[in-house]
Amino acid sequence: MAESRGELEALLAEHGQAHLLQFWNELTVDQRRELARDIGSVDFALLKRLYQRFRNDTGRERCGALEPPPAIRLSEECESARMRAVELGRQAIADGKVAMILVAGGQGTRLGFDRPKGLFPIGPLSRRTLFQVLVDRLRAIRRRHDAAVPLWILTSPATDEATRAYFRERDYLGLPPADVHFFCQGTMPAVDRANGRVLLADRHRIALSPNGHGGMLAALDECGGLEQAAERGIEYFFYGQVDNPLLPVCDPRMIGHHIEYASELTSLAVVKRHADERVGNFVQTDACVQIIEYIDFPEEAARRVDASGRLVFWAGSIAVHVMNRAFLQRAAARADALPFHFALKKTPFVNEQGERIEPDQPNSVKFERFIFDLLPLAERPLVVEVERDEAFAPVKNADGSPADTPAAARRMMIAQHRRWLEAAGARVADVPVEIHPLWADSAEEVAGRLGCETVVDEPTYFTDC
């Protein structure tokens, strides 16, 4: 790695980034070291190629002929097929073949919470954090199947330390420490959209940001996670995002369909609310199954309906996947497996005069990898439909925003728990309810817990803990 000023100058001059040393003479020894480390983390040749691609981008992708993807639809899934899938999934979990990946990196800018998203208190009554809610669901799965399901948590440089400390200080939220692994994703620099020059966040720091949830793949490989999983006999990774408190953790039905279909990558999907809903669309092209982001989705396809007036491209992504461990190992061996996407973002920076600028317009290009770009590489990809209300409550924006807020997610959690209670015969007044996953984690389990004639007429948190 280049360390002396001369070496750094030569490296940066070659890539047209000499301005990064502009404040060198004013820096302390430690600051120079930090700057050298930041510079050493950047692949400038790659950055140049990506910026050129951004400049040459002509807008929407051409998609070719589109069809809906192969899918298990709820309306077509008979009870026996469902039970078979659930049984297969349960067996795989009980046999110790399943692990979980929880992505909890990124920056969480939209939520406006100053700690890692996973520490956000989401429980409607309990105020348990997103991490607690999801880990408790995992504990419920482990207990029900009497099996170890190791957990790999993806962090980013912004969330890594606080996440590890949080788990350490709270006894790993009840999981055996040996079954909890943390791994940190890489970063990419933000570049000036006008000229491709890397932005300085400070006089001695490059403006680096996480490289997207697709950074999970390389990070899991580099931390030895894939190898470790192989040694433990893990065959399937259940993948979910920390900002979804309804995440159906290690859903046996989904895992079972994945196994039965001999898929390498299976994704959950919900029926889109309307043609323009801002979700990724699952499609089948001549070459592969893939997700096309709403912004790139051709309007004709988005609006296409069948004879009964239902959307042909019904399947919206909720970022829940099951992936074969061997498939991830194959993909990780290819440096270019996941392409970079670019986004225009507002990035605060230090200008040539050393002043900090807070732009009010997107001034930079950021580059990110997305995990769903694994789909085209997978053999026999499969989409499994799930009820939105049972599986997806994204926590993206601060309360007061139009959608995807904590308040909306809490309402969905309450509604799910109310449905489970009512299905078990309880009468529930118009009051908030919450169920701890170790008390019950499905309508069936609630039924096993309730006495007959149960009446819930005040806010109630069902828990043994």
Binding site for ligand UTP (CB under 6 A): 103-110, 117, 154, 156, 185, 210, 212-213, 215, 241-243, 396
CB of 190 to ligand UTP, least distance (A): 13
Beta bridge partners of 240: 102
Q: Quick one: which of 448, 62, 452, 446 has its CA closest to 460?
A: 446
Q: Letter for the amino acid at 254?
A: M
Q: CB nearer to ligand UTP: give 150 or 210.
A: 210
Q: Letter for the amino acid at 13?
A: A
Q: CB nearer to ligand UTP: give 155 or 324.
A: 155
CB of 57 to ligand UTP, least distance (A): 21
Handedness of CA 22, 28, 32, 34 (dihedral sign): negative
Q: CB nearer to ligand UTP: give 184 or 435.
A: 184
Q: What CA–CA distance (Å, rounded) separates 104 from 119?
A: 10
Q: CB nearer to ligand UTP: give 404 or 445.
A: 404
Token representation of residue 378: 């997978």
Tallying the residues shown for the chain, one arrives at 465
CB of 162 to ligand UTP, least distance (A): 13
Q: Give the nearest residue (CB) to ligand UTP.
A: 106
CB of 209 to ligand UTP, least distance (A): 8
Q: CB nearer to ligand UTP: give 110 or 304.
A: 110
Q: What CA–CA distance (Å, rounded) separates 408 from 402?
A: 10
CB of 119 to ligand UTP, least distance (A): 12
Token representation of residue 370: 């997305």
Torsion of Cα atoms, 91 then 94 then 96 then 98, to 10°: 60
Q: What CA–CA distance (Å, rounded) separates 305 from 313?
A: 8
CA angle 275, 73, 422 (to 5 degrees): 95
CB of 347 to ligand UTP, least distance (A): 12
Please report how many Cα atoms fall inside a 13 Å half-sphere around the Cα of residue 152, on the Cβ side.
26
Q: CB nearer to ligand UTP: give 241 or 347.
A: 241
Q: CB nearer to ligand UTP: give 89 or 106.
A: 106
Distance set, CA 220 to CA 10, 103, 154 (Å): 33, 11, 8
The per-residue DSSP string of 7-67 comes to HHHHHHHHTT-GGGGTTGGG--HHHHHHHHHHHHT--HHHHHHHHHHHHH--SSPP--S-B
Distance set, CA 309 to CA 303, 386, 414 (Å): 10, 20, 32
CB of 285 to ligand UTP, least distance (A): 24
CB of 241 to ligand UTP, least distance (A): 4
Q: CB nearer to ligand UTP: give 108 or 196.
A: 108
Q: CB nearer to ligand UTP: give 159 or 416.
A: 159
Q: What CA–CA distance (Å, rounded) separates 117 from 130?
A: 8
CB of 438 to ligand UTP, least distance (A): 23
CB of 367 to ligand UTP, least distance (A): 11
Q: CB nearer to ligand UTP: give 130 or 226.
A: 130
